[in-house]
Structure 1
Amino acid sequence: MLLSTTRVSVHQLRRYATTAVPKDKDHYHLVVVGGGAGGLSIAAKFTEVLTTLDKGKVVVIEPNEMHYYQPMWTLVGAGIKTVAQSGRPMASVMPRQVKWIRDRCVSIEPDHNRVRLSGANGVLSYDFLVVAVGIHIDWNRVKGLTDALKTPGVCSNYSVETVTKTLPAIEGIKEGNAIFTFPNTAIKCAGAPQKIMYLADAYWRQHGIRDKINITYNTALGVIFGVPKYAKALNKIVDQKNINVNYRHNLVEVVADKKEAVFEDLASNERKRFKYDMLHVTPPMSAPPLVSSLADPQSGGYMSVNKETLQHVKYENIFGIGDCTNAPTSKTAAAVAAQTGVVSRNLLAVMKGKKPYAHYDGYTSCPLVTGNNKCILAEFDYNLEPLETFPIDQSKESRLMYYMKKDLMPNMYWNGLLKGIWNGPQFYRRIMHLGMGK
């Protein structure tokens, strides 16, 4: 449901801070670190939607000049969309009342309510902090990968620099072995490693060469998908498409001059070599080093938050959103949308001297494109239980869901989520299920 537009003046907000901080030109009421989907949505809510914090009270720290809708990169890799369609200048999506500092945050000092920047901006102090810095991609954790990505046939949809290699790799193979990987780490959009595989399969079928190409999906996971309902459907699809699936296989090295991908069998610790003619790599990912001061030993380096309120477990004036936190859900834009409503409500409550009250149920969504004009819309919660919006079986392939993924969701992202007015489909789910849905 759209967040209530009842506006609250900054003068009505009770200041909260764990430590006294200086009031100077480098002090801000709300600092948002990260100009991705979560950061911009929260900034918009506190300047244009939920409250009317005055100009200069909210700052977003973000060094990049471009903002990308990364869920589109699956379609970019398949040649259905272009890189240009997936990005917009950061200045065009930054909320108008926000001060944008084009710099990189290098450390967070929560005991002193301040952050340090890499450039001339130096140190900023804050009353409240929202951390939305995404996830770190560890290209170097796979030996030889960075060099291999410079060679024909090796590609990845996980960066703007490498996604343009995917379509040429798909088009370039006429016969031989095509391998798609899933690493032994948390990743953003856990369905993406499969989506490009199904779209490549469709391309090769359309061009009459599918029977000459062996498709292998090597995943470090023990299942094809974490939610049993959707895993059952996907297992049938890979069988129908004659795709070889090897579980508990983790990519550890790419030997480009021999066109070999080396995998560790996590069950036996044995190293196995696979010959490839095309290799799509989903790289390992990890917590951004920036959030180390907000992590604890049990969080795997990710920012430690209460999984329901998304407030930091120790610092009450700090909230986390998106991929950088240890909230145990899939890291997707859909999860960010659901989290923005929770974070904004709870942060406003804390600003007013109250306790957080909104609860995040772990909602996330993964539109699993399974071929041309086909998609399974997986929606689920913390317990890996389906949390479906539509009153139909969403584990079945659907043309409607494909066009939602292709055309509707980008519009919702640019004109809803980034503007702070889309909190996910919970309200509409209840309507479609006649008030009986979660």
Structure 2
Amino acid sequence: MKTHYQILVIGGGTAGIMTAAQLLKKDKSLDVALIEPADIHYYQPAWTLVGAGTYNYNKTARPMSSVMPKGVTWIKDAASGFDPENNSVSTKSSGNIGYDYLVVAPGLTYDYSLVPGLKEAIDKGVVCSNYTDPKHTWTVLKNFKGGTALFTQPTTTIKCGGAPQKIMYLAESYFRKSGVKDKTNVVFATNGGVIFGIKKIAETLTKIIDKKDINVRFGHQLKKIDAEKQIAWYALGDNESEYNHKDIEVSKEGDLVGIHYDMLHLAPPSVAPKFIQESILVNEAKWLDVDQYTMQHNKYPNIFGLGDIAALPTAKTGAAIRKQAPVVVDNIIRLMKYNRIGDKSYNGYSSCPLVTDYGKMVLAEFDYQNRFTPDPKLKQMFIKDSSKEHWRLWILKKYMLPFLYWNKMLKGKEV
């Protein structure tokens, strides 16, 4: 097997595949290899809909071989370390792989140890997560007979920060349809101090919370799960407050507050993979140390990083990657041709499609300054204000975005 490539990409997720495909779209003669051990590529944004019983899980999965860009050498292995001084990446079983230019995009992994009891509880019984097993979420919703439905998230960064809310809104709708809403308290416990960081979106979501009669508990830092007693334990932060109080069962244990649940949905704590955290490529917070505008590594100019492991002050979403990949591609090609990067810049764009009901969605689009920045193309769908619920946005989420993902984005076409 060849041991040196012109461009080496780590990660067969959205970021890695998109970048490799776009590179070859610009220049078919490029020598590109991609390190990825998985057999299956998942379209995870649809897992919210799977968890609510309105999307087929099997349609979110395709063989990795089918999405690998034509012309890319697939190294079916896992990266395990870096030697940037010698332009080399170590792998678990294929030895060291050399490169001229490196793109680091392995995505996130989950660290259950950050919430004691979580590993034993998740995806079993009444505890579920769309992040790990959306089919089990749907089973939990269908079997729920009333009580406290608790939705929560960890204090760490997570993929798509709005996802723990989306399934909550859909679950509330399902509880109404299944006739258990009258004997149900829906509770959202979050470490944050606001329902969403963009004021215009927060105003819409607050109205939805009122309409759905949801109890929101801010400043709740998830500390541990007691699956046997069905209690989620929290430390209360300085921003602790409550919106739309519900009289639910709560316990005390020292400084911790425990919320008793009859079903629990949560996002597991997300971190960079161990081989990233232990490398010399990360910042103090253990994220890949790249420039937030150029995506170029701050120490090694022939290394670029994008996607969920990049140290960028914006939400970790596929929509963000859609805007990051062209910047990385342009910079690498210009470095190769002119020995300097181009003037393309990533402005922190990310978006969060907030599904608020079956058939309704709000689309939060924003940049590094947390400015609401709706895509002008939405006017082509006759959507005047994407900060409000709209059925056409639901069509975008359920039908149009998956089509664009499989047929455009992963093929290297800019959308």
Query: Which deviates more from structure 2 when the two are superposed, residues 276-285 or residues 390-399?
Result: 390-399
Select which of 309, 318, 331 maps to 2:316.
331
C-alpha distance in 1 between matches for 2:367 and 2:123: 39
Q: How does 1:26-425 map to 2 (within 5 A)?
A: 26-47=3-24, 49-54=25-30, 57-119=31-93, 121-159=94-132, 162-267=133-238, 270-292=255-277, 293-298=279-284, 300-352=285-337, 353-389=339-375, 390-391=378-379, 392-422=384-414, 424=415
Give the whole-Å Cα distance in 1 for the aligned partners of 2:149 and 2:300: 48
What CA distance in whole angstroms lies between the structure 1 residues aligned with 2:139 and 2:235? 28
Q: CA deviation at 1:354?
A: 2.4
Q: Residues 17-64 of structure 1, C-alpha deviation per residue, up to 9 Å, x if partnerless?
A: xxxxxxx931100000000111011111222x111125xx21100000
SS at 1:130 equivalent = strand
Distance 2:99 2:397 in 1: 38
Residues 150, 333 of structure 1: CA spacing in aligned structure 2 closer, same or farther, 3 A cutoff?
closer
Deviation at 1:294, TM superposition (A): 4.6
Gaps of 5+ in 1: 1-23, 425-438
2-side partners of 1:124 and 1:42: how far apart?
19
Aligned-partner residue type, residue 153 of structure 1: V
Distance 2:330 2:207 in 1: 42
Q: How many angstroms does 1:314 deviate by?
A: 1.0
1:346-380 Cα deviation digits (max 9, x unpaired): 11111111233210011111110000101001111
Write the distance in 1 (CA, Å) between the matches of 2:302 and 2:95: 21
- Give me the identity figure in percent: 43
Partner Cα separation in structure 2 for residue 94 and residue 398 of structure 1: 35
Cα deviation for residue 395 of structure 1 reads 1.1
Q: How far off is 1:83 after superposition?
A: 1.8
2:332 & 2:147 partners in 1: Cα distance?
Answer: 54
Q: Partners in 2 of 1:386 and 1:289 — Cα distance? A: 34
What corresponds to 1:429 in structure 2? none
Contact 1:28 1:126 in 2 (8 A): yes
CA distance in 1, matches of 2:342, 2:286: 24
The alignment covers a number of residue pairs equal to 393
Matched position secondary structure for 1:189: coil
3-state SS, counterpart of residue 80 of structure 2? strand
Contact kept, 8 Å, 2:276 with 2:282, in 1: the verdict is no
- For 1:322 and 1:150, the matched residues in 2 are separated by 26
User: Which residue in 2 is equivalent to 1:18?
Assistant: none
What is the letter of the counterpart of residue 363 of structure 2? L
Q: Which amino acid aligns with 1:393?
A: D
What is the rounded CA distance, in whole Å, between the counterparts of 1:341 and 1:103 in structure 2?
A: 26
Which 4+ stretches in 1 moved above 6 angstroms? none
- SS of the aligned residue for 1:346 comes to helix
**How many angstroms apart in 2 are the aligned matches of 1:151 and 1:136?**
20
1:326-347 CA deviation, whole Å, 9 max, x = no partner? 0111000000011111111111
Cα 1:205–1:234 shift into 2, 3 Å: same
- Distance (Å, rounded) in 2 between the aligned partners of 1:288 and 1:84: 26
Contact 1:294 1:304 in 2 (8 A): no
| CA–CA distance in structure 2, aligned partners of residues 403 and 123 of structure 1 | 46
Give the CA deviation at 1:409: 0.3
- Helix, strand or coil: the match of 1:257? coil
Distance 1:256 1:70 in 2: 26
User: Would the aligned equivalents of 1:288 and 1:302 in 2 still touch at CA under 8 Å?
Assistant: no
Give the TM-score of the pair, scaled to structure 1: 0.87
Q: Which runs of 5 or more structure 2 residues have no equivalent in the other structure? A: 241-253
